[in-house]
Structure 1
Amino acid sequence: MLFSSTGVNNVALQYSVSDNWEDKISRTLRRLGEKFPDVQIVIYMTNQIIGAKGDEIRTKVLSKGFALDIRDRNVIVHSPPPPIKPKPREEGEEHPDLDGAFL
């Protein structure tokens, strides 16, 4: 079963550390096609460096009805998280997220 917050299972996300990413993507797409035929978009995240080498498999799977978005190590490492800007609090003011939460 795929998680879906909307009840529509057309996007799948996979994170893999497999060295053989091409084979892993192919196996995943085959399994998704069998078990979850509504999936149209696959986001593949990996700690491997893929870069432009992913273009060939991306084109190949597009002809099979899948849109493949590859997020490799470069994307993960070079995409910093958004900055957190906490709201300034007045002296003595309790933290709103913790106010009474654990009491």
Structure 2
Amino acid sequence: MIDILSGEGAEWTPLEITDEYRAELLSEFTCEELAELNIYGSSMRANAMRAEENDRVKRSCLMSLRDSLTHAELDGDEFTASRLRMTIAAAEMLEVAADIVDIIRLTSPSNECD
């Protein structure tokens, strides 16, 4: 049995449900809805969905790295600039790898979440 809460606000009370009922309830959700609820399987699709969630953060970090590189170059700090160039190159390679995962996900014959 699994305890969940039912009711509204402070009036929530524990409610016991079976594993079967929980599985049946979750089977009614789409893959996107499950991802929104942070419920994932262990499949490649679920891994790709996790990667998509972090996409915005990755882009923001890459922009920050590029800004830092510009400042290091303007300051004449070649050591820091060189280190930042290597970090940016690695981040860009990770973006390419994420694109490859997306292509695999889109061409995968399975449409299941798990």
TM-score of the superposition, structure 1-length normalised?
0.25
Higher strand share: 1
Higher helix share: 2
